[in-house]
Amino acid sequence: MSNYNYAKEKYAKYGVDCDKAIEVLKNVPISMHCWQGDDVLGFDTEGALTGGIQTTGNYPGRATTPAELMADMDKVFSLVPGKKKVNLHACYAIFEDGNRVDRDKIAPEHFKKWLDFAKERGMGIDFNPTFFSHPMVKDNLTLSSPDENVRKFWIEHGKRCIEISQYFAEETGVPCVMNIWIPDGFKDIPADRLGPRKRFKESLDEILSIPFDKSKVYITIESKVFGIGMESYTVGSAEFCMNYVNTNGITPLMDNGHYHPTEVVSDKISSMLLFNEKVALHVTRGVRWDSDHVVLLDDETKEIAKEIVAADALDRVFIATDYFDASINRISAWTTGMRSVQKALLAALLTPHKMMKDLQDENNLTKLMVMNEEMKTMPFGEVWEEYLKQENVPCDYYAEVVKYEEEVLSKR
């Protein structure tokens, strides 16, 4: 008997259909963040990464041009099974000679190459306005700045990004998730907490006042508890964002690095699903803080996947990755994180949720604990390998990474 058939039999005992789990997983899109490849630097400015987020390390081989970044993403795509989307930031605009513009003037033409890249690979695109790493970020503030010129610049940027998002959606035929995250905040105790939030609210209202097709562009806002240098106060707090999305018919985005370390996004998903048509996620791994380490197959990643699958909400949750490690091979970092998300989803799809829920409702919590432990030693790896085989993706991607490093990255 093949290993896979052995695994199938074991799972069948609990009423789990492995073939079906694989088929479902093949069609769950994971939006891959482009910014792991170049340490979140982008192509539109020369300066360093700002906004209270940080990459550490200087492993050689960082992508420095659009062609390099696209080649690296292609390598990762070849090592990651399943359906992918390309997740871009506005700072990845590609300017040809003479058409360079500032962020308040970017247009679809500056993203034509990305569109072609995604289309050729049969992928949709998600998009993010870039409210950081730019001279118009004044005193760590953008859409909430007391300076009207600063706010206006970033409002225009937001509007341009909606237009670009709609262009991506129309051209690819796949809806585009456009995520708004602003770094705005204060290092120390603010005198006025209300004012910046009021200005952020008004700026968002203005951005969202331009006409766009809500069936094609899903606007999300991402909350955050603190940033580096913005430890005492962030304008886009959880309460601000949750209330704003609910009163304006847009979508919440939860990044699991953006909460107090004892809070878990896995516990938040069900509540958000009850009150929102769609929910968006940034899957990351915070180590003691919002450190954006590479996602691993750890307990919380598995629990997040379990919550989505058990709620039968795979078609209501936009899953995107968001981490950046510059201390190891970036192709490997990207691949490990993307595969970890997929592994977590597969583990969730191989769990007999109905049986487990019944045990809870019958108050048979003893058996529930036993079953939960039982699931941990099921032959999950055999099903994962079968999935990779069907998707034509190597099991041992490390060898591929080493080869790519020797042939491509080391020559940069």
Binding site for ligand RNT (CB under 6 A): 35, 40, 53, 128, 181, 222, 224, 255, 282, 290, 322
Q: How far apart are the first and last CA of the chain?
A: 47
Residue 44 interaction partner, one of Zn ion, ligand RNT, none, beta carbon < 5-8 Å per kind: none
**Cβ proximity to ligand RNT, 266 vs 351, nearer residue:** 266
User: Taking contact as CB under 5 A, which single stretch among the options 17-25, 161-169, 197-205, 276-284 is the one that binds Zn ion?
Assistant: 276-284
Q: Which of 85, 268, 282, 293 binds Zn ion (CB under 5 A)?
A: 282
Can you say whether the dihedral through the CA atoms of 206, 209, 211, 215 is positive or negative? positive
Contact 223, 242 (CB under 8 A): yes
Can you say whether the dihedral through the CA atoms of 76, 323, 64, 86 is positive or negative? positive
Name the minimum Å distance from CB 3 to ligand RNT: 39
290 is catalytic: yes
**Cβ proximity to ligand RNT, 290 vs 386, nearer residue:** 290
Q: Is 89 in the site for Zn ion (CB under 5 A)?
A: no
| 3-class SS of residue 193 | coil
**Cβ proximity to ligand RNT, 35 vs 186, nearer residue:** 35
Name the minimum Å distance from CB 53 to ligand RNT: 5
Catalytic residue among 84, 134, 157, 258: 258
**Cβ proximity to ligand RNT, 82 vs 257, nearer residue:** 257
Catalytic residue among 38, 72, 184, 292: 292
Residue 235 interaction partner, one of ligand RNT, Zn ion, none, beta carbon < 5-8 Å per kind: none
**Cβ proximity to Zn ion, 44 vs 322, nearer residue:** 322
- C-beta atoms surrounding 296 within 10 Å: 15
181 is catalytic: yes
Residue 30's alpha-carbon distances to 20, 43, 64, 84, 124, in angstroms, are 19, 24, 24, 5, 10
Name the minimum Å distance from CB 318 to ligand RNT: 13
Name the minimum Å distance from CB 320 to ligand RNT: 9
Residue 72 interaction partner, one of Zn ion, ligand RNT, none, beta carbon < 5-8 Å per kind: none
74 is catalytic: no
322 is catalytic: yes
299 is catalytic: no
| 3-class SS of residue 336 | helix
Output the CA torsion 350→355→356→358 (10° steps). Answer: 160
Residue 128 interaction partner, one of Zn ion, ligand RNT, none, beta carbon < 5-8 Å per kind: ligand RNT
- C-beta atoms surrounding 311 within 10 Å: 16
3-state secondary structure 344-369: HHHHHHCCCHHHHHHHHHCCCHHHHH
Query: For residue 22, with 0-12 CB atoms within 10 Å meaning exposed, 13-18 middle and 19 or more buried, which class applies?
Result: buried
Catalytic residue among 290, 300, 382, 405: 290
222 is catalytic: yes
**Cβ proximity to ligand RNT, 31 vs 128, nearer residue:** 128
Q: Is 285 in the site for Zn ion (CB under 5 A)?
A: no
362 is catalytic: no
263 is catalytic: no
- Contacts to Zn ion from residues 301-330, by CB under 5 A: 322
Contact 254, 282 (CB under 8 A): yes
**Cβ proximity to Zn ion, 3 vs 56, nearer residue:** 56
Name, in order, each residue with C-beta under 8 angstroms of 236's C-beta and a sequence gap of 6 or more: 181, 182, 184, 200, 221, 222, 223, 224
282 is catalytic: yes
303 vs 285: CA distance, rounded Å = 13
Q: Considering CB under 5 A, how many residues would be counted as binding Zn ion?
A: 3
404 vs 329: CA distance, rounded Å = 10
Tokens of 363: 């108050």
- C-beta atoms surrounding 340 within 10 Å: 21
Binding-site ranges for Zn ion (CB under 5 A): 255, 282, 322
Q: Which residues are catalytically annotated?
A: 181, 222, 224, 255, 258, 282, 290, 292, 322
